[in-house]
Homo-oligomer: A and B are copies of this chain.
Amino acid sequence: MRRLTREDIKKWKTSRQEDTSDIQGKVNDIVSGVRRRGDAAVKEYTEKFDGISLSDFRVTREEISDAYESLSGKYLDIIQEAAGNIRRFHEKQLPSSWFDTSQDGSMLGQKYTPIDKAGVYVPGGTAAYPSSVMMNIIPAQVAGVERIAMVTPPGTNGRVPIGVLATAQILGVTEIYKIGGAQAIAALAYGTETIPAVDKITGPGNMFVALAKKQVFGDVDIDMIAGPSEIAVLCDHTARAGEVAADLLSQAEHDERSSAVCITTSRQLADDLDREVKEQLKQLPRKNIAEASINFFGGTVVVDTMTEAVDTVNEFAPEHLEVMTENPYEQLGAIRHAGAIFLGPYSSEPVGDYFAGPNHVLPTSGTARFSSPLNVHDFMKKSSVISYSAAAWHRNVDKIASFARLEDLEGHARAVEKRKERFDD
């Protein structure tokens, strides 16, 4: 593991912004193709990119129940239990509409309403992720979204992995389409002859998916533009190098562009970590990916004080942050920017990926500065409610009209003043 400085971490933030202009043009063509030609375009792009010609994108009820039947009971039980944990954690996020009344009879408030229709993108490719299905679908269900459509790219055999379909069955999701990439995002955003449009699209994907989401943003809502995964481990001399190494590698194995950084006050730990990473890498099945990722942006920052260590964490704003210090709760208050914070030695990052309850769809590439884990609020929206009483109007009508005239909007002033005629009668 390289030794990194705080300056490296700061520079990393800006260097992570990729130049995507060459892919952007292709993505725009796909999006406008689907928007203009609907299913025909989706079919063509699916042939081109997924290597399979489909006459019908919709996954049948039989395919879903067959998948469920063929997954072993052991896995079904684990998925079921994990889904229960995730549902419980997300139910605690449910907001209430609220109002505030005044003596004068006025009422002000905020009304929460779920969105009507959500589309969820579940990545395909090398790894089929039942956990992605849970993490995207459950918050939408808890929010009360009525229609949830799931899209996922088909394999070259025209099928969706059974783990993904079995999870959908467990969650009660039945509207699933075998489409992926930018064409899937465009189909969800604008609708086709067979795929009705949705109001919001969530879920991670490759660069085509990310750029397509950005392209349709505004016409529909999106969750965030996901990049490669990161982990930072903040630790002192009490941490075990073997555990730190294993946790760093668990993110490094995701993608060659993932990053895994240890930030520590212990020089000894940094040295031990080097050996451990080297050792554990040898036996890892996804060794090549993990090694490339560690070389791409992995390393250790050794600092003198815990304050400096936490400042470095905030500058990195990692997607995942593990805190393995003498008393991790003491660092919690000073940590400002991290997608998910794992406290103590037993909170290994995969605990959160699959099972504990919080969402694993997290802000990447430093966007934890301004973004949140996927959550129930993402599938709801607020409406302001204003119920002004006659008394409140009386007291404030002249001030409101003056304000409107200060902004040169006479029509606004006249609207609020129009009510004076009620008292001329």
Q: Which residues of A contact B (CB under 8 A)?
A: 17, 74-75, 78-79, 81-82, 89, 92-93, 98, 100, 106-108, 110-111, 113, 115-116, 126-131, 163, 199-200, 214, 217-221, 224-225, 240, 242-243, 246-247, 249-250, 252-254, 280, 284-286, 290, 328-329, 332, 335-359, 362-363, 367-373, 375, 377, 381-390, 392-393, 396, 399-404, 406-416, 418-419, 421-422
Contact = CB atoms under 8 A, between A and B. Distances in A.
A191 B377 CA distance: 31
Contacts of A344: 387-389
B381 A371 contact: yes
A79 B407 CA distance: 12
B249 A415 contact: yes
Contacts of A329: 387
Majority secondary structure, A binding face: mixed
Given A225-B218, A328-B387, A336-B113, A350 B419 contact: no
Contacts of A93: 110
Q: Which 9 A-B pairs have the closest CB atoms?
A: A358-B384, A253-B411, A250-B415, A343-B387, A346-B393, A221-B370, A372-B382, A340-B384, A246-B418
A245 to B, nearest CB: 8
Given A89-B100, A359-B384, A375-B382, 11 more contacts: A74-B402, A82-B399, A115-B369, A127-B407, A199-B369, A214-B214, A249-B415, A284-B411, A284-B414, A332-B385, A348-B388
A108 B93 CA distance: 12
A212 to B, nearest CB: 13
B250 A411 contact: yes
Contact of A355 (B253, B340, B353, B400): B400
A380 to B, nearest CB: 9
B346 A419 contact: yes
A346 B392 contact: yes
A290 B410 CA distance: 11
Most buried by B among A126, A243, A348, A368: A348
B418 A243 contact: yes
A361 to B, nearest CB: 10
